[in-house]
Amino acid sequence: MAMRQACSHRERQRGVTLIEQIMVVAILGVLAAIAVPSLAPLLQRNQVQVAQIEFIAALQHTRGSAALSGKPTLFCPSRDGVQCSGETRWESGWLIGHDPARKGQPDAAPLRSQAAYAGITILGDSGRRLVRFQSDGSASGMTNTWRFCRHDRPDEALVVVIANSGRVRGAKASAEQATSCAAAQ
């Protein structure tokens, strides 16, 4: 009989009590409150890195589209995702489109576009307001550099550089590039 009582006693003890659950939630809340403030700088730095990576991917996509289609293809800043804006600031968004007539605008609907980046400055060189890739993958014109930064963290600025050959690369910004980007706010 004692054996039967011991077995039935074990069977009744399943799960956790409400007080145990409340304690676990309270401990998780305290840990989250401690971790969130230290994650903010990481998330801000990550935001600039994501913008740089998306920009590089878009330039490579533009170059590939030009090579595959045999048509000049442009990459330009855009506020509405439909037409090029002709600006040197790119944080409002950008688009990719074929431009066989070399008008500086896509000849049809854009192939791809990106909406605005909040809290980030993306500043291109003043000489080039768009990049046009030829069917051989080269980028006509001069070398262009874009600076990516947050005004409150200029030491974490990044750049994207495109050469006339069409080669695209990303890097950490120099001190001068970081300063000029942060000053453009």
Instruction: Return the domain boundaries, the chain.
Output: 41-183
Q: Tell me, what's the pLDDT at 153?
A: 81
Lowest mean pLDDT among 9-13, 43-47, 124-128, 146-150: 9-13
What are 158-175's pLDDT values in tens digits? 999 999 889 999 999 998
Lowest mean pLDDT among 57-61, 104-108, 179-183: 179-183
**What architecture (CATH level 2) is domain 41-183?**
3-Layer(bab) Sandwich (3.55)
170 within 8 A of 146, measured Cβ to Cβ: no
Query: Quick check: 33 pLDDT over 70?
Result: yes
What are 110-136's pLDDT values in tens digits? 999 988 888 888 988 876 788 999 999
Q: Which residues pair with 124 in a beta bridge?
A: 146
Give the Cα separation of 83 and 85 in Å (integer): 6
Sorting pLDDT into bands at 50, 70 and 90, what band is 8? low
Is residue 124 classed exposed, middle or buried when 0-12, 13-18 and 19+ CB atoms within 10 A define those classes?
buried
Q: Tell me, what's the pLDDT at 39?
A: 72
Q: What is the value of pTM for the model shown?
A: 0.76
